[in-house]
Amino acid sequence: MRLFAVLLGALIAHALVGAAPAQAERCTRVIQQGGLEYIVNTCNACRKVNIRRKRRGIAMPVMRTYDIQPRSKFPTSFKGVGRSRITSEILCEGAQGAGTNIMSPKARQTAQKKCVTLKVTVTGGVVLVNNCTSCRGVAVERYASNGKSMGRQAYKMQPLSVIQIHSKGSAQVGYLADVPCPS
């Protein structure tokens, strides 16, 4: 009996101490009004909210992500019977204190200088120009006159070099990407 009382006391103390920080961070909640569901943000900062909607008889829940502006109420696309639950909540991208997505292509393009360009010569030929002082791997794609792809080709470019690209029967040549050469 004494062990039970000690365990119960420890559980209550843990619940009181552990629950306070989690509740303080949560700014959004789901409310239902007139058959519709809304997400309400009570904080002074934009929040990115992942919400899960489960309906009886449907095995897979529906997942949605919304950016909820500060101190606002946002209608969800969910209607009818079902239960919605907020699965995660973080600061919006770009907000002060928010994390940065290092894997997004936009972040990579701003961080990385464009080294290789595709240029047309005065004779109508096409060349790749490497403006960087490092070796680059470059991918180009050739297109037929109807716009269909005729395949891709990769080139290894030495630092500060120019390579002529042969048409190989294509009507157009397009630059895809360049990456640093593996060492």
**Cα 73 from chain centroid?**
24
The residues of the chain that CATH labels 2.60.40 are: 26-105, 113-180
For the chain, give the percent of residues with pLDDT over 90: 21
Model confidence at 164, in pLDDT bands (50, 70, 90)? very high
Q: Check: CB of residue 136 under 8 Å from CB of residue 116.
A: yes
Domain 113-180 sits in CATH at: 2.60.40
Range with the lowest mean pLDDT among 4-8, 22-26, 34-38, 113-117?
Answer: 4-8
pLDDT at position 82, please?
83
- Report DSSP letters for 78-135, one per residue: EESS-EEEEEEEEEPTTSTT----TTSHHHHHHHS---EEEEE-TTS-EEEEE-SSS-
Give the pLDDT score at 22: 42
Task: Supply the pTM of this predicted model.
Answer: 0.43
In degrees and rounded to multiples of 5, residue 47 shows phi and psi of -125, 135
Instruction: Kindly tell me if the per-residue pLDDT of 40 is higher than 90.
Output: yes
Select 26-105's CATH number: 2.60.40, 3.60.21, 1.20.120, 3.10.50.
2.60.40
